[in-house]
Amino acid sequence: MRSKLFTIEQANHVLPRVTTLATEIVETYRQWHALLVASEVEAANRIPLADAPPTEAEAELQRLAEHIATCIAGLEALGVAFRGFEDGLVDFPSHIGGRLAYLSWRLGEPAVEHWHEVDDGFDGRMPIAPRAIA
């Protein structure tokens, strides 16, 4: 099955939904990570019991992880790839200059205005030149 390829207009059209999902992922990841660190410290200070039920923290970690996975699945259903828990990086498959590349967006940016080669990642981002997206 061929992946959806986005024009700049199509990417910006779905951006409100992408923004909502990416925001949820980043915010939930921050909660998950903080709870994980706190629960690891707590676990280091207690004796583990065999067959002990999950702690409240462990249950909450699981719930947060499931929410993150659901949001990522929502992005994948749109045809985009989530790339960064810290910054909310999202790639939109596209053709640029006749070759496969990614339109690149980061949480907080007002529109999709950058791209990068498939193998370059975020560090290789460049501004989109007019009429470059085919």
Give 27-80 pLDDT, tens digit per residue: 999 999 999 998 876 665 666 666 666 678 889 999 999 999 999 999 999 999
| Residue at 109 is within a domain | yes
| Residue at 21 is within a domain | yes
| Residue at 85 is within a domain | yes
Q: Identify the DSSP state of 66.
A: H
| Residue at 1 is within a domain | no
pTM above 0.75, yes or no: yes
Name the residue range of residue 27's domain: 14-46+54-127
DSSP assignment of 87-108 equals: TTEEEEEEEETTEEEEEEEETT
| Residue at 2 is within a domain | no
| Residue at 77 is within a domain | yes
Q: What is the mean pLDDT of residues 102-118?
A: 95
Q: What is the pLDDT of residue 41?
A: 66
| Residue at 121 is within a domain | yes
For the chain, the domain total comes to: 1
CA–CA separation, 54 and 115 (whole Å):
44
Enclosing H/E stretch for 81? strand 81-84
For the chain, percent of residues with pLDDT exceeding 90: 68
CA–CA separation, 23 and 108 (whole Å):
9
| Residue at 9 is within a domain | no
Residue in 103, 110, 93 with CA at minimum distance from that of residue 127? 103
